[in-house]
Amino acid sequence: MANAVHTHNSSDAAVVIGRFQPFHDGHLSLVRRALEAAPRVVVVIGSAFQARSPKHPFSWQERAEMIRLALPEAQRGRLHCVPVRDRFVEARWLADVRQAVAHALGGAEAAPAPRLTLVGHARDATREYLDAFPEWTLLRAAGVPVRRASLMRDALFASPAEALAALAGELPPATLDFLRAWRAAPHFEALAQEAALLRAYEASWASAPYPPVLVTVDCVVKCAGHVLLIRRGQAPGKGLFAVPGGFLEQRETTRQAALRELEEETHLALPQATLRACLKATDVFDRPDRSARGRTITHGHFFDLGERELPGLRADDDAAAAHWTPIGALAALEDRFLDDHFQMLDHYLDLTPPAL
């Protein structure tokens, strides 16, 4: 059943979903349309708990503040911003969104379900979720001619003063003020340096006949209530936690690559035959925007070593450190992981509670 088409103001609340990195005039147009459609508006802020990076420079609280400041004070009380994390399984993400919206509206099981309108603009395949809530009325809003948020971020990190002047017609005045203050924060310079590295990385592929699609492997290794993590020694993501992994080489399978990367980065003190016997699952993580380095498809490998004594480790290659981390400590580290590595761990280890 497809979403109903919204024709009149009969909703109890409206919903807008996005990442808002940063909040621009296209986003503001959707929020304004939602405020016209219903007395209350829930803004779902996606990728809410990512580590800061050139791709995710703003915390979800900072994005909520940008949204709030862009509205007249009289409308701010009608707005509720809620964070939602990324999930590997789409059904879990959809359940999280529904639960976050219900919680924001103070929903109780005994109360009638509110009539909701989802407001969105179907720009490309990343907006497929607009048709995933058939119980909500769908209001397809017209697009606003602004550049993509990724291009805004690129410009901001490359030349902040010039970018803020050039973006004056595409960002709400309050967002411009927010960004002027934000660029003076201590983390801005480190993000700008990493953004420059990523631009150089992208430029190195400029002569390729087709846009590159890169293939990597990643390893989630569980043992006796612990998981094997590295701390990255190089940008992008220098200093962040990650699972061991790297790029597929020309003459190897993904399983061979996974075993090679475990050896190169951690020198995990187990024979390869033992590791092969402990391989419990493989999955393809292929969300188009999962990596800051461009279109990168990774093959996740889950090894369960059982309850044996924790094998020895020695960090090497891209890893500045390698260590066994208690699984119970991972949830508190969610915003300190590279790219989607926390989502990989969550997928295999069930670190975060499912939506009710």
Number of H-type helices and E-type strands within the chain: 11, 12
- For the record, the structure tokens of 103 come out as 């919680």
* Homologous superfamily of 214-349: Nucleoside Triphosphate Pyrophosphohydrolase (3.90.79.10)
pTM over 0.85: yes
Cβ distance 103 to 95 under 8 Å? no
CA geometry: angle 200, 20, 15, nearest 5 deg? 150
Q: What is the pLDDT of residues 73-87, one digit of tens each?
A: 999 999 999 999 999
Query: SS3 breakdown of the chain: % helix, strand, coil, rounded to 5?
Result: 35, 20, 40
- pLDDT value at 51 more than 80: yes
CB atoms within 10 A of CB 351: 17
DSSP per position, 81-113: EEE----SSHHHHHHHHHHHHHHHTT--TTSPP
Other beta carbons within 10 Å of 95: 15
Bridge pairing between strands 241-242 and 226-232:
antiparallel
Residue 110: pLDDT above 60?
no
Burial of residue 167, with CB atoms counted within 10 A of its CB: 0-12 exposed, 13-18 middle, 19 or more buried: buried
Q: What is the C-alpha separation between 159 and 164, in angstroms, rounded?
A: 9
Residue ranges of domains in the chain: 13-182, 214-349
Which residues does 66 contact at the CB level (< 8 Å), separation at least 6?
20, 22, 23, 58, 174, 175, 178
User: Which of 271, 30, 250, 251 minimizes the C-alpha distance to 259?
Assistant: 271
The Cα-based distances of 336 to 239, 295, 341 in angstroms read 9, 22, 10
pLDDT in tens, 291-346: 988 899 999 999 999 999 999 999 998 889 999 999 999 999 999 999 999 999 99
Alpha-carbon Rg for the chain, nearest whole angstrom, is 22
Which two three-digit tokens encode residue 36? 């016209």
Q: N- to C-terminal Cα distance for the chain?
A: 23
Q: pLDDT, tens digit, for every residue of 230-288?
A: 999 988 899 999 999 999 999 999 999 999 999 999 999 999 999 999 999 999 999 99
pLDDT in tens, 191-231: 999 999 999 988 898 888 998 999 999 999 999 999 999 99
Cα(238)–Cα(241) distance, integer angstroms: 9
Q: How confident is the model at residue 7 (pLDDT cuts 50, 70, 90)?
A: very low
Q: What is the pLDDT of residue 124?
A: 59
Of 3.10.28.10, 3.90.1150.10, 3.40.309.10, 3.40.50.620, the CATH number of 13-182 is 3.40.50.620
- Reference 265, options 315, 299, 228; nearest CA is 315
Classify strands 79-83 and 40-45 as parallel, antiparallel or unpaired.
parallel
Is the Cβ–Cβ distance between 217 and 261 less than 8 Å?
A: yes
For 284, the enclosing helix (H) or strand (E) is: strand 279-285
**128-187: per-residue pLDDT in tens?**
889 999 999 999 988 888 999 999 999 999 999 999 999 999 999 999 999 999 999 989
Distance CA 253, CA 215 (A): 11
Of residues 35, 30, 59, the one with CA closest to residue 46: 59
* Residue type at 234 in one-letter notation: Q
Query: Given this model, what pLDDT does residue 3 score?
Result: 53
